[in-house]
Structure 1
Amino acid sequence: MSGRELTLLTEGSIELLGLIPRSSNQTFLVQVSCGEDEGYAVYKPEAGERPLSDFEPGLYKRERAAYLLSESLGWGLVPPTIIREDPPLGVGSLQWFIDCDFQQHYFTLFEDAPETHAELARIALFDFVANNTDRKSGHVLRDDDGRIWGIDHGLCFSASFKLRTVIWDFAGEPIPEALLEDIAPLAEAAPAKVAELLDDDEVAALQHRVQRLLVAGVMPVDRTGMRYPWPLV
């Protein structure tokens, strides 16, 4: 994506269009406009978050942190995501809306589009690094140009290991050397812009997870059979 999307997200006026159904927290479709240029974004206000026992309020920060982590790795898996203070319902994240066929998701892509497997495996690796607690199948999108995206990262980066994902088809496979090289710097330090959105224990845990991956050299394996989200899609 170009800088256009980030400009619209950061500087555009925001019009609330409606509530996105079937979300656990209040999530809205908005239109962002700068002059004659416009686009759509997903708005997740802090005010719409339901209280959780294992995550502090401010899940929108984790949405932003996931985007910044993906960008720091050069993977481009997460749509452009920013934090704004001035939307209609208060502070929250704005993420560029991905136009796609919503009948496609991880399960259909894995079965019907083997050419996407390398990208799907990279999302699985990203989810281990970010400690994603909620990678449902419907959180994997393929846009109209065939690009694969991962969305919905509000439940990431816990200091406690909470990985829950539907992406286990690559478990135990060797991690490509190029991806190990990409993540290796995270074993020493998280990117500063990511770290400032997390607490110290969460940053240390991220580094530890990467260290484990570098030693193991293979994709994570679920030996419990319990690390699945619900619902699956």
Structure 2
Amino acid sequence: MAAPDLAVAELTLTGRITTASNATFLGSIGDVPVVYKPVAGESPLWDFPDGTLAQREAAAYLVSQAMGWDIVPKTWLRDGPLGTGMVQLWQEQDPGQNAVDLVAADQLPESGWKHVLEGQDGSGQTVVLIHEDSPALRRMAVFDVVVNNADRKGNHILAMTNGHRHGVDHGLTFHGDHKLRTVLWGWLGDPLLPEERDGVGRVLEGLRDGLGRDLAELLTAEEVAALEMRCGRLLREGRFPAPGAGTSALPWPLF
């Protein structure tokens, strides 16, 4: 049997993710499981234009592809049962792995993890937000800087069985103003590795060619220009940036 045409074959809804802030459905195209977020189900936001989150998710996939790191699962725009929306290939993560975690202060792992911040839980116990110190998560942190991700929660990182890490939920990206809010602050100030610089460079190169043309159909000219400026600044400075002054550095909730 031929594989279904993911762009036009019937999309059937099979469930709904009720914890999402915007209407988010599980579905299938033939036997291919997908996530579907209709534009009509997007909640209005004070700092992002209405009805643009699906386009931003599709744009994030294009940038991920340009970087060559397979961070964002295949994502595209198409019609569905509730109108035009974002469709993304479903990823079955490993329930036994957590790339980001909250642990008691006296139970910190000895190595392999980055300490982000500490606070107190409801019972007054000191807890620490940590994330793994891995090449896959470093690349995701670089990607978030490039796309100006305003919502990198812990649960937006999918830990796959083979060690790969996928990032999802990229509706709050590509704002022209600094909006970086993430749980991945463990490499703050560290120099970029050569492969990380190469990934950013591939985005810059693509913006002058096919990537730029494709993004122009999804984002405003000002947002594409801001993306180019972020890439250039990241390469000039050559290190993971600090949080912006006067802005929140963390998403809420954290997970």
> What TM-score, normalized by structure 1, do the two folds share?
0.87
Q: In the alignment, what sits opposite 1:157? A: 174
- Flag structure 1 segments of 5+ consecutive residues without an equivalent: none
Letter in 1 for 2:75: T
Report which stretch shifted further, 53-62 or 148-157. 53-62
Q: In the alignment, what sits opposite 1:214? A: 235
Letter in 2 for 1:204: A
1:13 Cα deviation after fit: 2.0
Q: Deviations over 1:146-170 (max 9, x none)?
A: 3210000001001111110000001
1:11 Cα deviation after fit: 3.9
Q: Deviations over 1:105-137 (max 9, x none)?
A: 431499686686111011011001000010001
Change (3 A) 1:79 1:9: same
Letter in 2 for 1:41: V
Residues 57, 169 of structure 2: 8 Å contact kept:
yes
Give the distance between the partners of 2:52 and 2:112, measured in 1 at CA. 36
Letter in 2 for 1:81: T
Give the distance between the partners of 2:220 and 2:41, measured in 1 at CA. 22
Find the residue that maps to 1:62 and give its secondary structure: helix
Answering whether residue 101 of structure 2 is matched by residue 100 of structure 1, we say no
Q: In the alignment, what sits opposite 1:39? A: 32
Give the distance between the partners of 1:9 and 1:105, measured in 2 at CA. 30
Letter in 1 for 2:214: K
Change (3 A) 1:159 1:223: closer
Q: In the alignment, what sits opposite 2:123? A: none
1:226 Cα deviation after fit: 3.1
What's the Cα RMSD here?
Answer: 2.4
Residues 132, 165 of structure 1: 8 Å contact kept:
yes
Matches within 5 A, 1:44-59: 44-56=37-49, 57-59=51-53
Letter in 1 for 2:24: T
Residues 40, 96 of structure 1: 8 Å contact kept:
yes
Match 2:194 to one of 138, 159, 177: 177
- Return the index of the structure with the highest Cα Rg: 2
Corresponding pairs, count: 223
Larger helix fraction of residues: 1
> What TM-score, normalized by structure 2, do the two folds share?
0.80
Q: What is the percent sequence identity of the aligned residues?
A: 41
Report which stretch shifted further, 8-17 or 112-121. 112-121
Residues 178, 244 of structure 2: 8 Å contact kept:
no
Letter in 1 for 2:139: R
Find the residue that maps to 1:9 and give its secondary structure: coil
Give the distance between the partners of 1:100 and 1:125, measured in 2 at CA. 22
Q: Deviations over 1:17-73 (max 9, x none)?
A: 12102101010000110xxxx121110000100111221212101111001111111
Residues 9, 41 of structure 1: 8 Å contact kept:
no
- Flag structure 2 segments of 5+ consecutive residues without an equivalent: 103-107, 114-131
Q: In the alignment, what sits opposite 2:61? A: 67
Larger strand fraction of residues: 2
Letter in 1 for 2:228: Q
Q: In the alignment, what sits opposite 2:225? A: 204
Match 1:81 to one of 68, 75, 80: 75
Match 2:13 to one of 3, 16, 23: 16
Letter in 2 for 1:43: Y
Match 2:24 to one of 15, 27, 34: 27
Change (3 A) 1:14 1:223: closer
Change (3 A) 1:185 1:39: closer
Change (3 A) 1:98 1:189: closer
Change (3 A) 1:174 1:79: same
Give the distance between the partners of 1:185 and 1:151, measured in 2 at CA. 21
Change (3 A) 1:195 1:102: farther
